[in-house]
Amino acid sequence: MNWVSILGSISIWIILVPLLIGVASYSKLNYDSKLILSIVLIGTLPQVLRPFINNSSSLTLLYNLYTPSEFIVYYFLFIKKVSLPYFKNIFVTTAVFFLLASLFFIFKQGLLNRFINEWVIINNIFQIIWICLCLMEYYKTEDSVIETNQPFFWFLIGITAYSTCTVVFYSLWYFIKSDSGSQTQILKIIHHIFNIALYVFFSIGLFKNYTLKHLNNYNNFG
Question: Torsion-angle region of residue 52: left (phi > 0), alpha (psi -120 to 50) or beta?
Answer: alpha
Please write down the HEC assignment for all residues of the chain. CCHHHHHHHHHHHCCHHHHHHHHHCHHHCCHHHHHHHHHHHHHHHHHHHCCCCCCCHHHHHHHHHHHHHHHHHHHHHHHCCCCCHHHHHHHHHHHHHHHHHHHHHHHHHCCCCCCCHHHHHHHHHHHHHHHHHHHHHHHHCCCCCCCCCCHHHHHHHHHHHHHHHHHHHHHCHHHHHHCCCHHHHHHHHHHHHHHHHHHHHHHHHHHHHHHHHHHHHHHHHC
- CA 203, CA 178: separation in Å to the nearest integer? 34
Q: Which amino acid is at 76?
A: F
Give 3-214's CATH code, choosing from 1.10.3470, 3.40.190, 1.20.1070, 1.10.150.
1.20.1070
pLDDT score of 138: 83
The count of C-alpha atoms lying within 13 angstroms of the C-alpha of 171, restricted to the half-sphere facing its C-beta, is 9
- CA 159, CA 195: separation in Å to the nearest integer? 10
- CA 191, CA 171: separation in Å to the nearest integer? 12
Please write down the HEC assignment for all residues of 24-80. HCHHHCCHHHHHHHHHHHHHHHHHHHCCCCCCCHHHHHHHHHHHHHHHHHHHHHHHC
pLDDT score of 217: 54
102 within 8 A of 151, measured Cβ to Cβ = no
pLDDT score of 147: 82
pLDDT score of 133: 94
Q: What are the 10-residue block averages of pLDDT along the chain, 222 residues in total?
A: 80 96 93 97 92 88 96 97 93 98 95 95 98 89 76 96 96 84 84 96 93 58 46
pLDDT score of 8: 86
pLDDT score of 153: 94
